[in-house]
Amino acid sequence: MSEITPILMPKWGLSMREGKLAAWHVDEGATIAAGDEIMDVETDKIANVVEAADAGLLRRRVGVEGEMYPVRALLGVMAPESVSDAEIDAYVAAYETPSAGGDEDEAGPAYQFADLPAGRIRYAERPGEGVPLLLIHGFGGDLDNWLFNIDALAEGASVYALDLPGHGQSVKSARPAGLDLMVDTVLAFLDHIGADKAHLAGHSMGGLVAGAVAVKAPERVASVTLICSAGLGEEINAGYIDGFVAATGRKDLKPVLLHLFKDQGLVSRSMVEDLLKFKRLDGVQEFLTELAGNLFRDGRQARQIAQALAASGVPTQVIWGEADAIIPPAHAGALSGAKVSVIPNAGHMVQMEQAAEVNRLIRDFIA
Amino acid sequence: MARIISMKDAVNEALDQEMTRDPTVIMMGEDIVGGAGAQGEDDAWGGVLGVSKGLYAKHPNQMIDTPLSESAYVGAAVGAATAGLRPVAELMFVDFIGVCLDQVFNQAAKFRYMFGGKAQTPVVIRAMCGAGFRAAAQHSQMLTPLFTHLPGLKVVCPSNAYDCKGLLIQSIRDNDPVIFLEHKNLYASTCDVPEEPYAIPFGEANIVREGSDATIVTYGQMVGRSVEAAEMLKKEGIEVEVIDLRTLSPIDMDTVLESVEATGRLICVDEASPRCSIAADISANVAQDAFDALKAPIQMVTPPHAPVPFSPSLEDLYVPSAERIAAAVRKTMEN
């Protein structure tokens, strides 16, 4: 039986209980390599393609396209030719889906909190070996922006994702709301987790933060991956920034969020609702207003890092969504010495829209 | 988020956080302190169902247990609001509004208008509402239409713990009189609720579930039953959109009209008595403003025009069930 490898319904974030198997991309009898795109899964929040966690021969497609399955339900079975059909039948019959929302192990790791000088910071941790990787979200985002990345990346290293001050479930009262606060918080967080050195990957404003951390403390940063990053040019979509800050309801927020994706169908009712839940928290409106004023006033980026980061000697790579409507993909070439990848069929949220490709680029770069 | 609490605890947390944030927020009502300070914890009820339990210990100077006289303390709360406090008066059961209605509809609701906008009356009147609790005709009414009829009042009736906390905080911060109705059957219902304070703006309906075939518009306890009906209908291939109004004054007709324009079918589900109800109001507005979009006559699902029965079997028949809601949706699908 140990030769049998199950393919399970993934769990994207703490709140996911079930998902729809929208489509299979592999047939029975196909040889699958780890990282191959094997199926599409949809939840009430988002749809995405699932990469194979393990390599193997697909012997059985248990999940039916179009059906809903609980998290960790058995969707497929991989096994070498030497395993008989009867053994696979027995495995499928004996498989029991762990109950969702049960004890912590089954529900997936819970969020953690760190009390830093800036205040309370929420983070997620996936333990592993070696130099850790820290994921830093962008303006108005939170650690769940790495929903499709954190588990896949954890196969190669220990991975952390945090909520920056003013974001997610982290402290809202820290001031002044600007780049220095973010940089100091990231450094304090590295201290908190006992990391002398870390790989940093930042998305959008989080890229600016990651780059600024590397400039300020190059000895603490093993590498920097900048994804659709701020800080590499002047232009930024002012309509998005101002619209996001000003929106108070579904009707004004949804059109703004459409700018984030190439496939605008990904902006679901539930995604809009989750962001409204964040924006309604006391202190968020004030924080974002101040932060946008300091970093992105009138559609111009106030802080630039390309030159100083190139001079820091820290290895860098730049990843961009070709259809990014927030920060122009042309900025991808601004950082000299960086490895640059521009990914087609993706907008600003390239780490969600083309998660498999972004995960591969990050894994290869930090390996 | 990942903190699941009940609607009862959400009310308690909202009151606690607002009294902490703003010392002018005070609570008054019958048994809201409930003998705390006397010997024995058992005595400290924190209201008839324990909603305000534990708050007196934290905010002893902001909570007043009143005599059993709604006309006195609701009047006092309205007066205190005009004088600069933000009182939250608890009416226990909304059915008791009769003895203090003048203070609400002829005083609190009129001050801003009659004093040329110079008077503010930031009072919240919290009360339990609704049937299904085996509490008989005098403790089970909705009465929501009674309040929406009156200009100058804001009327809120949440359907879940998350909305309840955010809407109660908004009610307390609002500068107008708010009637805040808590369905007693929902107190035990749970969902994810952030620990941090947050306010949900009034007049923004929540699309609980998306669907392209028909639109159910509802609020309060009927939201859950409508979602249940929608799940039943999904198995029959009917995709129903469910809109939770959240606030009845102001009311988010834009969201309702937009949805009906897309689906062409409207089912109004209301736990209040049918005549001049929220269901009748929504139906009339849609008939006036989106008649051309309708593919079938509007359906209203309400209790019969009768007092709430005490007999449990009759009470269960009185309150609209998921089956009745589903039947009304199917009727619109015949066209």
What is the token pair recorded at A254? 């949804």
Has domain B4-192 been given CATH number 3.40.50.970? yes
pLDDT computed for residue A104 by the predictor: 43
Neighbours of B30 (CB within 10 A): 20
Residues A278 and B166: their CA atoms lie apart, in Å, by 12
B13: pLDDT strictly greater than 60: yes
**A281 shares contact with chain B (CB less than 8 Å):** yes
Residue percentage of chain B with pLDDT more than 70: 96
Q: Is B139 a catalytic residue?
A: yes
pLDDT computed for residue A100 by the predictor: 53
Same topology, domains B4-192 and B206-333? Answer is yes
Chain B positions touching A282 (Cβ under 8 A) are: 196-199
pLDDT computed for residue A26 by the predictor: 94
B221: pLDDT strictly greater than 90: yes
Exposed/middle/buried for residue B123 (C-beta within 10 Å: 0-12, 13-18, 19+): buried
- Closest C-alpha among A317, A326, A329, A322 to residue A360: A317
The band of B163, judged by pLDDT with boundaries at 50, 70 and 90, is very high
pLDDT computed for residue B208 by the predictor: 96
User: For B127-142, what is each residue's pLDDT tens digit?
Assistant: 999 999 999 999 999 9
CA separation, residue A269 to residues A276, B159, B208 (Å):
11, 18, 9
Looking at chain A, the domain(s) classified CATH 3.40.50.1820 span 110-366
pLDDT computed for residue B68 by the predictor: 92
Residues B312 and B136: their CA atoms lie apart, in Å, by 9
Chain A positions touching B254 (Cβ under 8 A) are: 251
For residues B143-165, average pLDDT: 98
pLDDT computed for residue A113 by the predictor: 96
B187: pLDDT strictly greater than 60: yes
pLDDT computed for residue A217 by the predictor: 98
Q: HSE of B88 in the Cβ direction (CA atoms, 13 Å)?
A: 29
Q: What is the nearest CA distance from B115 to chain A, expressed in angstroms? A: 31
Identity of the residue in B2, B194, B196 whose CB atom sits nearest the CB atom of A111:
B2
Select the CATH number that applies to the domain covering A5-99 from these four: 1.10.3210.10, 3.40.50.1100, 2.40.50.100, 2.70.70.10.
2.40.50.100
Listed as ranges, residues in chain A with pLDDT below 70 are 1-2, 14, 100-109
Closest B-chain CA to A173:
B196
CA separation, residue A120 to residues A112, A114, A164, B58, B198 (Å):
10, 6, 10, 24, 18
Kindly list the domain boundaries of chain B, sorted by start residue: 4-192, 206-333
What is the token pair recorded at B157? 């009736």
Between chains, do A281 and B198 touch, taking CB under 8 Å as contact? yes
CATH topology of domain B206-333: Rossmann fold (3.40.50)
Between chains, do B198 and A277 touch, taking CB under 8 Å as contact? yes
pLDDT computed for residue A47 by the predictor: 83
Chain A positions touching B166 (Cβ under 8 A) are: 280
Q: What is the nearest CA distance from B25 to chain A, expressed in angstroms? A: 17
User: For B222-267, what is each residue's pLDDT tens digit?
Assistant: 999 999 999 999 999 999 999 999 999 999 999 999 999 999 999 9
SS3 A288: helix
Select the CATH number that applies to the domain covering A110-366 from these four: 3.40.50.1820, 3.40.50.300, 3.40.1670.10, 3.90.226.10.
3.40.50.1820
Q: What is the ipTM of this complex?
A: 0.90
Mutate: best of A170, A269, A272, A286, partner B, most B CBs <10 A: A269
B114: pLDDT strictly greater than 90: yes
Instruction: Identify the contact set of chain B against chain A, taking CB-CB distances under 8 A.
Output: 1-2, 162, 166, 192, 194, 196-201, 204, 206-207, 210, 254-255
